[in-house]
Each structure stands twice: as structure tokens, then as C-alpha cells.
Structure 1
């Protein structure tokens, strides 16, 4: 078995492919194009000593390695997407060889074509909504004296009630924002809220949305986001991106890394 695998970044239509010259992949090697069945896959060679199934299990726990790999992956995808409608592939999707890539393009041809047709002329925008947890007001002094333990419990209950109410209001506001943005987009997707360790924020993330927007409406979408900002919440707009969130119809069915046969 070869000790080199084929790392897949993205798929586009072969009729109008983006050039791969000058692009470097996750290990610094050149990106190349594999054309088959009217599609073109953008790939690079990777060592299975690093990108095989077992090594990847360890590497994916290394945040520095994962961040560097993700940045290299996204650079390739964004470069291709800037030139042609592109279906990004999940991070660290590795095949045994080029033959498996051709088999994928043939077997999933219709799925790729459908998705590429749907995302043509459109971009993905990301919107995150944060809300600051409310602090409970200090309770009034009780008319009758109470023990320190009782006073603490009352204060704790008041704090919990206030935070729960603040959470409900923030979630309701996020739902309204999502609905408004969805009316401008042609498709939307809600991702799971990021862990504070990943977001670097102490506030609640009450919306982590992705929106597929016609290119000519990108400015309008940004204006709508701006108009949704308000007291008590922060709205963060990112993009435009390649449409990562809207290519799930062509998930390869592979594990995150694969160096064996079908």
C-alpha cells in the first residue's frame, strides 16, 4: 500500500475550472486538478504517516495543528471559489489514491451538479449573535430577620430567575433575527453555538447562522444585519465565504481520513 494519500479540498464543474497553478496545500505541496465525468476535484498529495486514520486521531486533538491545517484548507477553497462555483469538502478528507477521487466524481456526479447549480452566483455569510448574561438586582432587605443561609438562597434564586428570563429573551431575539435574515437569503442553516473556549467570548452565543445570499444582494444583506443591532446584543457579520454550509448534499460518506479501500 502506498504511503501517500490524496487530500480533497473542493469540487467544481470541469466546463469552467479554476486554475490550480500556484496553490499550495496543507503540507505545502502543490495543489492539482483531477478532471473526470464533467467535474474537477482539487487535491494534493499528503503523507499517510500524518494524514492516515490513526495519526489523524491524534493530530485532531492538537489545536495548533488543526488550526494550521484548517487555514491551509480554506485558502485553497477560497482561491478556487473566487474563480468558479465551488463545493467545498469537509476538512481532512483523505482518499487512498486518485482512482478513488475519480470514482467519487462519477458516483456522486448528479449530487455535485445539483449543488453547484444551486450555489452558482451566491455566497455564504455568517452571522453570530451574542447576549450578555444579566445579573440579578440586589433583593430588598426582608422585613423580618433571616439567617445567612436563607438570605443566600433567596439571592441565589433571584439570580437564577433573572438569568433564565434573560436567556429566554435573548433566544427569542435571535429567532427574530434569523427569520429576518432568512427572508433575504435563498437558504439558511443554523450551526451549533460555539463553546466559549473556541469563541473566546464570555457572552452567550444565541445564534450561529449561515446564509446563502445572491452576490448582487450582499450589500443589502449587510445593511439588514446592521439594522438588527440593538441594546443588549451584539451581532457579528463575517464573509463572504465559499458555501461550506450548503454543500451537505454531497458529503462524501468518507470518514475524516481514509487510507483503506471502499
Structure 2
């Protein structure tokens, strides 16, 4: 009679929270990524949020294959994000990357032990904080118009051109166009420096992200800024108010602000090594 190979479950790690916060709130009883209830593994002052997963389905080799399946990736990645968002509503959470899997509880305990200080210190630094993302888009036509009428060298050259000989006017108009175009990035950089300086008193940390193209944003204006901010919960109302003030100020320059959050602190948790 052929024997059936029994493979112990692996453990899927969503994130780590402060164990002391379990005294004030319970982890919701919800299904994990592979249909099993989520569980808690306590290690000193840390609590790992885990769920059993099938070892064959969540081996590294199988994960690598599944990542090529858009439907599987969309479903599982969405679940991972939603789970961390639920945890974040109740606890200070240090989120792990999608598909952080351990072969057994011993391996998880080793990581919690070896990285204990880093994990605990990072969680303490995130306590009472929220992540917010600010995207700023710029309408190029409005930016060019602003430069044309407010940038001193441009205004000066514009005023001089009509009094120049006809032949020279053609050359200087081309020079004027080049001067205006060259000022776009400089002007936008100046605006962002001013905006950033205004926001700095209200934030704990900032993380600058890649600028997305129009093909990605599906907008007609250009992304100028893509930045994550870590903000204390108590400071959040003042942060929002300042964003609103800046939105009104820079609207005349062609800038549009997009604020989203609060998010789990994905972009302020990257110093932690996730060792399988």
C-alpha cells in the first residue's frame, strides 16, 4: 500500500506588533491567505501575526511560479494588504513583505530572537504614527504661463524683443522659448522645496518615491512629487490643514495635490531584515 507524504504546514507572516497592545485589543478572528485562521506567536515584547499555509503551495519554488499568474498575484497581494490594514486599525504594526514565509515555528523564533532589538525599536518608533502619501501633479501649460509672466529673466527678455531688429527678434524669440522651457524643472524643484519646508514641522519622517509617468497615472498632467510622510496621530489635523493651505496657494501655478492614507507604515519599515 502506497504511503501518503505528510508535509507540515509552513507559516505565513503578515507582520509584527507590540505584545503589550494585546491587553487593550484582540486580533480579529479572520481567515488567512490559505484559508486557515490567523494566529499569534509571542516572543518577549513582540507578537508575530501568522497563519498556517500549505507547504507545497507556498514553497519558494511554487511562489515564484504563482507570481507569474496575474490573477493569483492580484488576489493574494490584495489579501495581504487588506490583512495588514485590518491589523493596523487595532495595533502598531511592522508589516512584512508579501509572501514572507517560514518553514516552521523554530525558524520564525530564531528570526524574532536574532532581530529582537531592531524589531522592538522600530515598532516603538512607529507607535502613534500614521503613513500618508502626498502626490503633486503639475499642469505644464500653467507652469509655462507662470514662468512667462513672473520669472524676471523671462519677463525682461520679453520686454526687450519688440525693440530689437526684425532679424534678431526671430533668434531671441527662440532663445526665449528655450529659457522658459529650461526653467520648468527648476521652478518645480523650488516649489517642492518650499512645500516640503512648510510640511516638515508636522512630520516625523519622509520617504521620496519614484515619479510615475502619464501612462501609469492615466492623467493629462505630470507627476511632480510622490512622497510618503510619517505623521503623529496628534499632529495629523495640523498636517491636513497645512496641505489644504498649500493646495490653495499652488493651485494658481497649476499644481494639484492628492493626499491618501492613513496607510500601514510600509515605507518606514524597510530597515528590518526578513530572513526566511
TM-score of the two chains, using structure 1 as the length reference = 0.78
C-alpha change, 1:102 and 1:194, in structure 2 (3 Å) is farther
| 3-state DSSP of counterpart to 1:250 | coil
C-alpha change, 1:22 and 1:160, in structure 2 (3 Å) is farther
Q: Aligned ranges for residues 14-25 of structure 1 at < 5 Å?
A: 14-17=19-22, 18-25=25-32
User: How many Å separate the matches in 2 of 1:240 and 1:247?
Assistant: 15
User: How many Å separate the matches in 1 of 2:99 and 2:65?
Assistant: 13
| 3-state DSSP of counterpart to 1:100 | helix
C-alpha change, 1:65 and 1:180, in structure 2 (3 Å) is farther
Kept in 1, the 8 Å contact 2:45–2:120? The answer is: no
C-alpha change, 1:58 and 1:177, in structure 2 (3 Å) is farther
Runs of 5+ consecutive residues of structure 1 not aligned to the other structure: 138-142, 145-153
Q: Aligned ranges for residues 123-134 of structure 1 at < 5 Å?
A: 123-134=130-141
2:256 aligned with 1:238, yes or no? no
User: How many Å separate the matches in 1 of 2:194 and 2:60?
Assistant: 42
Kept in 1, the 8 Å contact 2:213–2:222? The answer is: no
Q: Give the greater-gyration-radius structure (CA).
A: 2
C-alpha change, 1:217 and 1:65, in structure 2 (3 Å) is same
The aligned counterpart of 1:140 is none
- Which of 55, 79, 86 is equivalent to 2:86? 79
C-alpha change, 1:163 and 1:4, in structure 2 (3 Å) is farther
The aligned counterpart of 2:38 is 31
| 3-state DSSP of counterpart to 2:31 | coil
User: How many Å separate the matches in 2 of 1:3 and 1:158?
Assistant: 72
The aligned counterpart of 1:116 is 123
| 3-state DSSP of counterpart to 2:12 | strand
- How much has 1:52 moved relative to structure 2? 2.9
CA RMSD, 1 decimal: 3.1
| 3-state DSSP of counterpart to 2:13 | strand
| 3-state DSSP of counterpart to 1:8 | strand
User: How many Å separate the matches in 2 of 1:61 and 1:168?
Assistant: 41
Instruction: Report the count of equivalent residues.
Output: 242
The aligned counterpart of 2:11 is 6
User: How many Å separate the matches in 2 of 1:93 and 1:124?
Assistant: 22
Structure 1's consecutive aligned runs of 4 or more residues displaced over 6 angstroms after TM superposition are 157-161
User: How many Å separate the matches in 1 of 2:89 and 2:196?
Assistant: 27
C-alpha change, 1:185 and 1:44, in structure 2 (3 Å) is same
TM-score of the two chains, using structure 2 as the length reference = 0.75
User: How many Å separate the matches in 1 of 2:85 and 2:65?
Assistant: 27
- How much has 1:21 moved relative to structure 2? 3.8
2:266 aligned with 1:248, yes or no? no
Runs of 5+ consecutive residues of structure 2 not aligned to the other structure: 1-5, 146-165, 168-172
- How much has 1:94 moved relative to structure 2? 1.6
Q: Aligned ranges for residues 205-244 of structure 1 at < 5 Å?
A: 205-229=223-247, 230-231=250-251, 232-244=254-266
Q: Aligned ranges for residues 96-175 of structure 1 at < 5 Å?
A: 96-134=103-141, 164-175=182-193
